[in-house]
Amino acid sequence: MSIVWLSPADCPLLQPQSDNADASSLRLVQRLLELALYKQGTEETAKTLLEEIASCLRADLAAVFEAMPEWQCRWQHARRGLRPEVTPRPVLSDVLDRAAGVALPPTGNQPPMALSCLSYTERPNRVLAVARRDVFEHADLEYVVAAGHYLGLALEKARAWDAARDKEKRLEALVDIGRQMTQERETIPLLEQIAAKAAQLLDCERASIFLWDKSRGELVGRPALGMPNNELRIPDSTGVVGQVVRQGVPLTVDDVRKDPSWSGATDQSTGFQTRNLLCVPLNDAAGQRLGAFEVMNKAGRFTPEDVAALEALAAHTAAALGNVREREALVRSHSELEGQARLGARLVGDSTAIVALRSTLERVARTDLPILILGESGAGKDVVARAVHYSSARQQSPFIPVNCAAIAETLLESELFGHEKGAFTDAHATRPGKFEAASGGTLFLDEIGDLSAGGQAKLLRVLEEKVVYRVGGTQAIPVDTRVLTATNRNLGESVRAGKFREDLFYRLTVVTLELPPLRERRDDILVLAEHFLEQFCKTAGRKPLTLSADAKKRLEQHDWPGNVRELRNLMERIAYLATGDKVEASDLAFTLRPSKDEARKFGHLPLSEATDEFQRDHIQQTIRRAGGHMGEAAKLLGMHRPNLYRKMRFLGMKETEA
């Protein structure tokens, strides 16, 4: 039997008004159309129609072959163990070239076969192959040609349905990936998770995200299986990825062996065999290139839909990467600041008083009891307050210090409790106070003895009711704030003098911690000096300085009227100004020591009276030095002018005394 060819134009079953069309064959073709209308998806349509074609022709094999560009069997329906390998591959190309059907007689191991080009809208690349034991008659070939025509149309319809379904799945997957991205907090796990999702989304074997390290001229890829730490570093001019990063356009390589820019060095390093790949640029919202996103080894060809999906995923990745990097920077900054804060909260010293204070602090820090910290100015009351906070369960919440003496009396209540819009002049907007800002954490009120009568009443209500009322407001605002207070005054005397509320006094003194002055714990002088010197040398960027024996002796002999603050300031000046590697006694000339006559001046007085007398004397001297100008005197004293007047009234002074 000779080879018979039949074109679709000569097939009666494809002619609308053909007199030669067999009625039974037309019904069989109509059956194919009905089945195609009820099926969705390429796989389902191909399987169903091939089964119907094989049944109608009593065939052992019905299959669709596709040139991709090499011929491969895409779908088949086979009986009796017949394999599609028996199909003559050279004839398939002839069928495409002629866009026709052909009946082939049996030759060798090849059974009788009928082949037909499938109808197409873009280019011919599929052929229907039918094989059976009996030779194909002309009527059979007519049916095969008609079946190929309608099977091609059905697969085109199914492909459109597949595209819509894939688009929906990809959109759902992108939404799911975006949701998961927001939950990731670190860069490397984020990249690994996104790469895994991309490979799954695009039906590829692997995916990698390359970040561009411009300073080193490198592309850092993750994940890179088979490489140390799952990381691959390549020059930014290497291969397809380097080309995408440099040019900023997507690239698809269907066969890496035929691409001149492909380098197999990575495959040799990892043991992975790359066949094809798709790579798109990774840009941030400002259009700056961050790197590239690559997927490898898709079963078929990469489609425009794949490119669009990977570009969308790359946009999500860039946004998520920016968020994670920003968060990591904030975490690092927070950790550094917290480390510095914790360092500033260390109670440095080996004296008996400090050891006992640390022991007490550890016990009371775990409670929420109010604590009053007593001690001279500069003794380190703020350090004790911070130590309490960072030893408590509130350590991850805010610690907010407020110096009650440094805020004008008219503004103090607003600072602490907040104010409503229009509560007073310049109150242009509602503003929360320090109590609200410190909610969940700790509020440290230094110089509590300088709190106004109105502020004392509100503070007492906050401590008892756990709510604040803003200035000019009536709404109770719940707060969960631990209050620590400190003073260098004798609050008991202030209570007796009617300057401090008695009920508030007892509320604040549930726990009292007393910090001795530095002159009463001389064992700590050198420990603190070396501690501060090490800190400031590190800040100044110089090698650690050491104290000579004479310098140590002079430090120990000093009375330290300014307490730890004076010692700290001295060590800071030395760290920045000392010229040698060792601190000599002569370098301590910066220390400002009051004369012995001034020290004896208040020696016969109790501490509280001596403190008041010293402040009166110091204020008078400062006002005289300022030539009687109260604003300038307040500036020299580090105070606001209203606070200076308030301090003078508190000390029983009159302006005429200046």
3-state secondary structure 58-121: CCCEEEEEEECCCEEEEEEEECCCCCHHHCCHHHHHHHHHHCCEEEECCECCECCEEEEECCCC
- Rounded to an integer, the average pLDDT of 451-462 is 85
CB pairs under 8 A, 24+ apart, for 238-241? 238/263, 239/263, 239/266, 240/277, 240/279, 240/294, 241/210, 241/279, 241/292, 241/294
* Domain ranges, residue 416: 345-514
The pLDDT assigned to 442 comes to: 92
β-bridge pairing 371-374 and 399-403? unpaired
Most confident of 217-226, 485-494, 618-627: 485-494
- Rounded to an integer, the average pLDDT of 17-25 is 69
Q: Assess if residue 300 is contained within a domain.
A: yes
Residue 129 has pLDDT above 90, yes or no: yes
- Rounded to an integer, the average pLDDT of 540-544 is 89
Residue 591 has pLDDT above 60, yes or no: no
At 123, the pLDDT band (50, 70, 90 cuts) reads low
Give Cα 82 to chain centroid, integer Å. 58
Residue 454 has pLDDT above 50, yes or no: yes
Q: Answer yes or no: are the C-beta atoms of 454 and 404 closer than 8 Å.
A: no
**What is the C-alpha to C-alpha distance for residues 470 and 450, in angstroms, rounded to an integer?**
20
Evaluated on CA atoms 348, 349, 355, 356, the torsion sign reads negative
What CATH number is associated with residue 621? 1.10.10.60
At 613, the pLDDT band (50, 70, 90 cuts) reads confident
**What is the C-alpha to C-alpha distance for residues 270 and 466, in angstroms, rounded to an integer?**
63
Same domain, 507 and 542: no
Q: Assess if residue 168 is contained within a domain.
A: no
Q: Answer yes or no: are the C-beta atoms of 22 and 105 closer than 8 Å.
A: no
Same domain, 586 and 604: no
Same domain, 225 and 241: yes
**Of 484, 514, 544, at which residue does a domain stop?**
514
- Rounded to an integer, the average pLDDT of 147-167 is 84
**What is the C-alpha to C-alpha distance for residues 137 and 117, in angstroms, rounded to an integer?**
18
At 486, the pLDDT band (50, 70, 90 cuts) reads very high
The pLDDT assigned to 590 comes to: 46
What is the domain count for the chain?
5
Same domain, 274 and 376: no
Burial class (CB in 10 A: 0-12, 13-18, 19+), 429: exposed
Count other Cβ atoms within 10 Å, centred on residue 88. 14
The pLDDT assigned to 281 comes to: 92
Helix (H) or strand (E) holding 165: helix 138-181
**What is the C-alpha to C-alpha distance for residues 219 and 291, in angstroms, rounded to an integer?**
7
- Rounded to an integer, the average pLDDT of 313-332 is 73
Q: Assess if residue 242 is contained within a domain.
A: yes
The pLDDT assigned to 338 comes to: 59
At 274, the pLDDT band (50, 70, 90 cuts) reads confident
Q: What are the tens digits of pLDDT across the range 229-270?
A: 677 888 888 788 888 888 889 988 888 877 777 767 677 666
Evaluated on CA atoms 535, 536, 541, 542, the torsion sign reads negative
Same domain, 613 and 582: no
Name the β-bridge partners of 259.
none
Q: Which residue has the higher pLDDT, 603 or 518?
A: 518
**Of 461, 487, 514, at which residue does a domain stop?**
514
> Which two three-digit tokens encode residue 435?
């109590």
Residue 175 has pLDDT above 80, yes or no: no
What CATH number is associated with residue 105? 3.30.450.40
Q: Rounded to whole angstroms, what are the CA distances from 502 to 460, 462, 495, 506, 620?
A: 10, 16, 6, 6, 31
Lowest mean pLDDT among 159-173, 355-369, 372-386: 159-173
Question: What count of Cα atoms within 13 Å lies in the side-chain half-sphere of residue 639?
Answer: 20
The pLDDT assigned to 491 comes to: 87
Q: Which residue has the higher pLDDT, 392 or 88?
A: 392
What CATH number is associated with residue 463? 3.40.50.300
Residue 631 has pLDDT above 60, yes or no: yes
Q: Which residue has the higher pLDDT, 37 or 521?
A: 521
**Of 577, 593, 609, at which residue does a domain stop?**
593
**What is the C-alpha to C-alpha distance for residues 343 and 334, in angstroms, rounded to an integer?**
14
- Rounded to an integer, the average pLDDT of 328-354 is 69
**What is the C-alpha to C-alpha distance for residues 290 and 308, in angstroms, rounded to an integer?**
18
Same domain, 360 and 499: yes
Same domain, 24 and 90: yes
Q: Assess if residue 571 is contained within a domain.
A: yes
What CATH number is associated with residue 541? 1.10.8.60
Percentage of the residues of the chain whose pLDDT score is greater than 90:
11
Residue 484 has pLDDT above 90, yes or no: yes
**What is the C-alpha to C-alpha distance for residues 215 and 260, in angstroms, rounded to an integer?**
27
The pLDDT assigned to 63 comes to: 92
Note if the pTM is more than 0.75.
no
Q: Assess if residue 174 is contained within a domain.
A: no
Lowest mean pLDDT among 128-137, 144-153, 218-227: 218-227
Same domain, 509 and 522: no
Same domain, 459 and 522: no
- Rounded to an integer, the average pLDDT of 528-532 is 91
Most confident of 1-5, 125-129, 402-406, 609-613: 125-129
Helix (H) or strand (E) holding 493: helix 491-496
Who contacts 36 (Cβ-Cβ below 8 Å, separation ≥6)?
Answer: 45, 49, 150, 153, 154, 157
Q: Assess if residue 334 is contained within a domain.
A: no
Same domain, 555 and 634: no
Question: What count of Cα atoms within 13 Å lies in the side-chain half-sphere of residue 36?
Answer: 23
- Rounded to an integer, the average pLDDT of 50-60 is 90
Q: Answer yes or no: are the C-beta atoms of 205 and 343 closer than 8 Å.
A: no
Q: What are the tens digits of pLDDT across the range 296-313?
A: 888 778 888 888 888 888
**φ/ψ of residue 209, rounded to 5:** -115, 125
Q: Which residue has the higher pLDDT, 364 or 30?
A: 364
Residue 343 has pLDDT above 70, yes or no: no
Q: Answer yes or no: are the C-beta atoms of 111 and 1 closer than 8 Å.
A: no
Who contacts 229 (Cβ-Cβ below 8 Å, separation ≥6)?
Answer: none
- Rounded to an integer, the average pLDDT of 484-488 is 92
**What is the C-alpha to C-alpha distance for residues 272 and 274, in angstroms, rounded to an integer?**
6
The pLDDT assigned to 116 comes to: 93
Q: Answer yes or no: are the C-beta atoms of 140 and 28 closer than 8 Å.
A: no
At 64, the pLDDT band (50, 70, 90 cuts) reads very high
Q: What is the DSSP letter of 342?
A: H
Same domain, 540 and 633: no
At 81, the pLDDT band (50, 70, 90 cuts) reads low
Q: Which residue has the higher pLDDT, 219 or 484?
A: 484
> Which two three-digit tokens encode residue 400?
């907010």
> Which two three-digit tokens encode residue 642?
């209203």
Q: Assess if residue 337 is contained within a domain.
A: no
Same domain, 259 and 282: yes
Amino acid (one-letter) located at 278: L
The pLDDT assigned to 592 comes to: 46
Evaluated on CA atoms 626, 628, 632, 635, the torsion sign reads positive
